[in-house]
């Protein structure tokens, strides 16, 4: 098993999260480090999607991944095997990351040698949506088995992301899942949201997603 | 579309949630109403599992269901079609229910004519685990597509439930999911946890689950 570094991050003391988030975003911009905040339910395939993303982008960008979980280091160990920088953040039971916690992670990982930093947030569709982490872009993953009604039930999350990735499209034949219904529900909340459909397992559709992400990173780091 | 009643419930003002939970549990015991608190990730199949549960138990018990969501009333509408009492609770963005919020729901629904009350908690593996709702029993649903590593990442939830239902076993052939690994991981955290494997879609395994639940309800309401 790969040895990965595990950091315990504490609840922030800052009263004004939005201000701290803007400050962190400014710092990242100056350092030419793009930060993607990836959010989803538990088990939507965030880590597998990151493996595919790293595969496609690691020749162009120096990548660093922060895996946030309440416990365990299984995800950071999986990512570390790809050869990119990976650390595990433990949230001490916290259900989300705010800007202060994200900055602690950034400092623990170090970004001097990172063009594309990725935060895999705690698996949760509610609380992470409420806190700006200071990321350059917020992305959400929804997997086919979760159902097409999720935008109706968790509207804030679907409202605030710049891109939505629908994952596990390889199992569509076994589930009642209407992609058009999802698009319609999301675009009602968030007209500019870009929607991708992928199977992180088979690789289908992944290139469209990573092409988009690469263009975002290039724009930011210019 | 069935018209269901929707109640906005507010964050509780009580400082001591455990004390409020014990008080609610005492009240339910006295009224001979059993309350099940059902928790899971978004999209694990809580509502479909409840449809099967109602089908098997509605001849023996008078059932009332409280569907808690941040938004929408789709779940309560689905449940109402079975003919049992169903109300929708909106949590005003809150990621969980505590005892005070649960009691507001109980009061809104009314339990004089209910033997088995069911709270479908907000889809979230983190926050609901931290708050005793006053339920007679806590039950969690984990679906096959979410993966067998969830007990490692969300240990508190798996530690506190009396029963774990593994759902969507009909799609096991299409996912890497090791039920034995889940059992081992859960029992390490929670040796007495009863584990069921079901497909709410096909009905497989549901009877074992509802037989167990029925015996719990009978014991409580005796």
Instruction: Output the pLDDT for position B12.
Output: 73
Instruction: Output the pLDDT for position B110.
Output: 96
Dist CA B64 CA B67 (whole Å) = 10
Q: What are phi and psi of A40, to 5 degrees?
A: -175, 175
Q: Are A70 and B171 within 8 A, CB to CB?
A: no
**Closest residue on chain B to A69 (Cα):** B153
Q: What residues does B90 pair with on adjacent strands?
A: B8, B69
Calculate mean pLDDT across residues B193-197: 98
Residue A189: exposed, middle, or buried by beta-carbon count in 10 A (0-12, 13-18, 19+)?
Answer: middle
In which residue ranges of chain A is pLDDT below 70? 1-2
pLDDT digits (tens, 9 = 90+) for A51-87: 999 999 999 999 999 999 988 999 999 999 999 999 9
CA distance A130 to chain B (A): 9
Structure tokens belonging to residue A155: 């509207």
Instruction: Output the pLDDT for position B4.
Output: 81
ipTM for the predicted complex comes to 0.90
- Residues 6 or more apart whose CB falls under 8 angstroms from that of B118 comprise B35, B36, B38, B50, B53, B63, B64, B65, B66
Q: What residues does B143 pair with on adjacent strands?
A: B167
Pick among 3.40.50.300, 3.20.80.10, 3.20.20.140, 3.40.630.30: CATH of B5-221: 3.40.50.300
All residues of chain B having their beta carbon less than 8 Å from the beta carbon of residue A199 are: none
Q: Are A70 and B130 within 8 A, CB to CB?
A: no
Contacts 24+ apart (CB under 8 A), A192-195: A192/A162, A193/A158, A193/A161, A193/A162, A193/A163, A193/A164, A194/A162, A194/A163, A194/A164, A195/A163, A195/A164, A195/A165, A195/A166
pLDDT band, residue B43 (cuts 50/70/90): very high
Residue B2 pLDDT exceeds 70: no
Instruction: Output the pLDDT for position A7.
Output: 86
At how many degrees (to 10) do helices A17-30 and A99-109 cross? Answer: 30
Q: What are phi and psi of A36, to 5 degrees?
A: -100, 130
Out of B72, B93, B154, name the one closest to residue A152 (CB).
Answer: B72
Domain boundary assignment for chain A? 5-140+206-221
Find the farthest-apart pair of alpha carbons in chain A and give their distance in angstroms, rounded: 48
Model confidence pTM above 0.90: yes
pLDDT digits (tens, 9 = 90+) for B98-155: 999 999 999 999 999 999 999 999 999 999 999 999 999 999 999 999 999 999 999 9
Instruction: Output the pLDDT for position A15.
Output: 77
Q: What residues does A137 pair with on adjacent strands?
A: A36
Instruction: Output the pLDDT for position A6.
Output: 85
CA dist A165 to A69, A138, A209, Å? 21, 11, 8
CA distance A156 to chain B (A): 9
Instruction: Output the pLDDT for position B1.
Output: 43
Q: What angle do CA B76, A165, B67 make, to 5 degrees?
A: 10
Spell out the CATH class of A5-140+206-221.
Answer: alpha beta
Q: Which helix (H) or strand (E) holds B185?
A: helix B179-189
Q: Are A149 and B74 within 8 A, CB to CB?
A: yes
Average pLDDT, chain B: 95
At how many degrees (to 10) do helices B46-57 and B206-221 cross? Answer: 70
At how many degrees (to 10) do helices B99-109 and B17-30 cross? Answer: 30
């Amino acid at each position: 098993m790969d040895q990965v570094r595990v950091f315990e991050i504490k609840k922030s003391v800052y009263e004004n999260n939005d201000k701290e988030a803007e400050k962190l975003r400014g710092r990242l911009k100056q350092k030419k480090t793009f930060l993607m905040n990836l959010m989803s339910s538990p088990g939507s395939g965030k880590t597998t999607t990151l493996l595919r993303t790293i595969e496609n982008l690691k020749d162009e960008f120096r990548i660093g991944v922060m895996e946030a979980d309440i416990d365990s280091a299984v995800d950071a160990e999986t990512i570390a095997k790809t050869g990119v920088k990976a650390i595990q953040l433990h949230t001490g039971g916290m259900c989300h990351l705010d800007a202060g916690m994200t900055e602690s992670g950034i400092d623990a990982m170090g970004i001097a040698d990172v063009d594309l930093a990725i935060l895999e947030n705690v698996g949760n569709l509610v609380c992470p949506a409420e806190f700006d982490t200071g990321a350059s872009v917020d992305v959400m993953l929804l997997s086919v088995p979760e159902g097409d009604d999720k935008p109706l039930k968790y509207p804030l999350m679907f409202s605030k992301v710049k891109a939505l990735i629908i994952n596990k499209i390889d199992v569509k034949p076994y589930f009642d899942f209407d992609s058009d219904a999802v698009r319609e529900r999301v675009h009602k909340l968030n007209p500019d949201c870009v929607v991708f459909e992928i199977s992180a397992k088979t690789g289908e559709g992944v290139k469209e997603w990573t092409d988009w992400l690469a263009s975002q990173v290039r724009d930011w780091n210019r």
